[in-house]
Amino acid sequence: MLNKKKEQTVSKKVLLLESQLAEREKELMILNERLHKTEEKLTFTQRIGNLGSWEYDVEANKRPGHRICMRYSMLSLLKMVYQKIFF
């Protein structure tokens, strides 16, 4: 009789855990979809604004070159040189 009660208790706990796991998986799917949509919006706004994003490696003291970022870095440099020369 005692073993039967233990089996029932374990079964209830297993069902509870499975239910909690299913709920958490559902939440994660929703959050993942929201993240994906946010990334799409960011990519779109960067593209229409001719902007980009990059990471900075503090230890190596450099950032990986991104085509758009490099172009704007060069444009900024040229603008600064132009202002120094002509103004």
Name the helix (H) or strand (E) containing 47.
helix 2-48
The chain-wide mean pLDDT, for the chain, equals 80
Could you tell me which of 66, 46, 47 has the C-alpha nearest to residue 55?
66
pLDDT at 58: 67
Task: Enumerate the domain spans of the chain.
Answer: 2-86
pLDDT in tens, 31-70: 999 999 999 998 888 777 767 666 666 677 766 655 555 5
Residue 15 above 90 pLDDT? Answer: yes
Q: How many Å apart are CA 80 and CA 74, to the nearest integer?
A: 10
Instruction: Assign 72 a pLDDT band (cuts: 50, 70, 90).
Output: low
Q: What is the pTM of this model?
A: 0.53
